[in-house]
Amino acid sequence: MIDKTDMETQAIKEARRFFAEALKELGLMPSFQNRSAQEIDQVIEACVDGFQESMRKQVAARDGCNDEIPF
């Protein structure tokens, strides 16, 4: 994500709790407990970016439109 909106910044911050819960469930918290908020946010952003990119590709493949520009 580049130039996040205030809403995106808040969403990423709030996602930290869910990320921490998943880490605890998987027994991975020790590997992340000394990471900074900025590093955790980087992981969250990478997941969000990858998810969004996959969704765009799936829609383009389904609709038969592979153009990034819709006109």
Give the pLDDT confidence of 3-52 residue by residue, as tens digits. Answer: 889 999 999 999 999 999 999 999 999 999 999 999 999 999 999 999 99
Please name the residues in contact with 30: beta carbons below 8 A apart, sequence gap of 6 or more: none
Q: Give the whole-angstrom CA distance, residue 69 versus residue 65.
A: 10
Sorted by where each begins, the domain ranges of the chain are 6-63
- What's the CA dihedral at 39, 40, 44, 49 to 10 degrees? 0
Give the pLDDT confidence of 53-71 residue by residue, as tens digits. Answer: 999 999 888 887 666 666 5
User: Can you give the pTM of this predicted structure?
Assistant: 0.79
